[in-house]
Amino acid sequence: MTMDRDRRAATSYLPLRPVEFHVLLSLAAGERHGYGIIQDAEARGERIDVGTLYRALARMTEQGLIERAASGAEEGDDRRQYYRLTRLGLNVARAEASRLAVLTRAARLGGLLPEGAA
């Protein structure tokens, strides 16, 4: 029952914008600050502009998908703000991932993806 409601609540945020999925993906691995998220995305082969990222961070914080972490910077810049996933954010990230998985499967069945490709 609870799970059901959570899933329904989570699916209402779908589909996510690419930048939002990147944020969730990064934060799923642990707390990150803005530049860390950008670097993660670059490692996945995508560039995110700083303005785009921070607008997304603001929006997602307001939506309750992520939240500010108390402070992750022992030695870093004191202006640096760290973020982490909320429970809702985690659910939304999972829901988006399975949505994408369905799409990927469909793409493969449709012959758009070579067999075995990621």
Partner 1 sequence: MSAGAGGVGGPGGERRRGGSGRSAEDGGPRMKATRWWFRLLLQLYPVDFREEMGEAVVETYEARARDAVARGGLPALWGVWLRALLDAIRNGPAERVNPAVWWRRGGNWGRDAELVLRRLVRAPVFVLAMVGTLTVGLGAFAVVYTVVHKVLIAPLPYEDPDDLYWVWRDYRAFFDLGRGWTAGTDVVELAQAGGVIEEVAALVSARRTLGGIPGEPPAEIKLLETTPNLFGLLGVSPVLGRGFLPGEGGPGRAPVVVLTHGLWNRLGADERIVGREIRLDGEPFTVIGVLGRDFEFVRHAGIGPPEAPPDAYVSFDYDLAGTSPGQGSYAALVRARAGTSRAVVESTVEAVGRIIDERDFQGLGLRLYAVALGPDLVAHARPALVVVGLAGGILLLVLLANLASLLLVRALEREREFAVARALGANGVALVRATLLEGGLLGLLGGSGAAVAAVWATRALVGLAPATLPRRETIAVDWPIALVVVATGALLGLLASAAPAAWAARTRLSSLLHAAAVRGGGRGRLRRAMVVAQVALSLVLLTAGGLVVRSFERLLRSDPGFEAAGALTLRVPMDRLTDAEADVMQERLQRELATIAGVTAVGAASALPLTGDSDQADLSVPGAPGNTGNPETDHLLVDVIATRPGWFEALGIRLLEGSSFAPQAPQGVLEALIDEQLARRFFPGTSALGAEIQIAGTAARVVGVVRHARLYDVHADGRPQVYYRNHGDYVSQSLWYAIRTSRDPASLVPDVRAAIDRVDRGLAMADVLPMERRVAESLSQQRASAALLTGFSLGALLLAAMGLFGVVSGSVTRRRHELALRLALGADHPRVLGEVLGEGARLIALGVLLGAPGVYLAGRVTHGLLVGVSPWDAVTLSAVAAGLAAVALLACYVPARRVLAIEPASALRSE
Nearer to partner 1, 36 or 89 (CB): 36
Long-range contacts, stretch 10-15, CB < 8 angstroms, 24+ apart: 10/88, 10/91, 10/92, 10/94, 10/95, 11/95, 13/63, 13/65, 13/92, 13/95, 13/96, 14/92, 14/95, 14/96, 14/99, 15/96, 15/99
Is residue 22 involved in binding partner 1 (CB under 8 A)?
A: no
Is residue 64 involved in binding partner 1 (CB under 8 A)?
A: no
Is residue 10 involved in binding partner 1 (CB under 8 A)?
A: no
Is residue 89 involved in binding partner 1 (CB under 8 A)?
A: no
Cβ-based neighbours of 84, under 8 Å, separated by 6 or more: 27, 30, 31, 32, 66, 67, 69
Of residues 20, 33, 41, 89, which one binds partner 1 by CB under 8 A?
Answer: 33
Of residues 22, 27, 40, 41, which one binds partner 1 by CB under 8 A?
Answer: 40
| Distance in Å, CB of 90 to partner 1, minimum | 20
3-state secondary structure of 65: coil
Is residue 9 involved in binding partner 1 (CB under 8 A)?
A: no
| Distance in Å, CB of 111 to partner 1, minimum | 36
For partner 1, the binding residues (CB under 8 A) are 33-36, 38-40, 43, 49-59, 61-62, 75-81
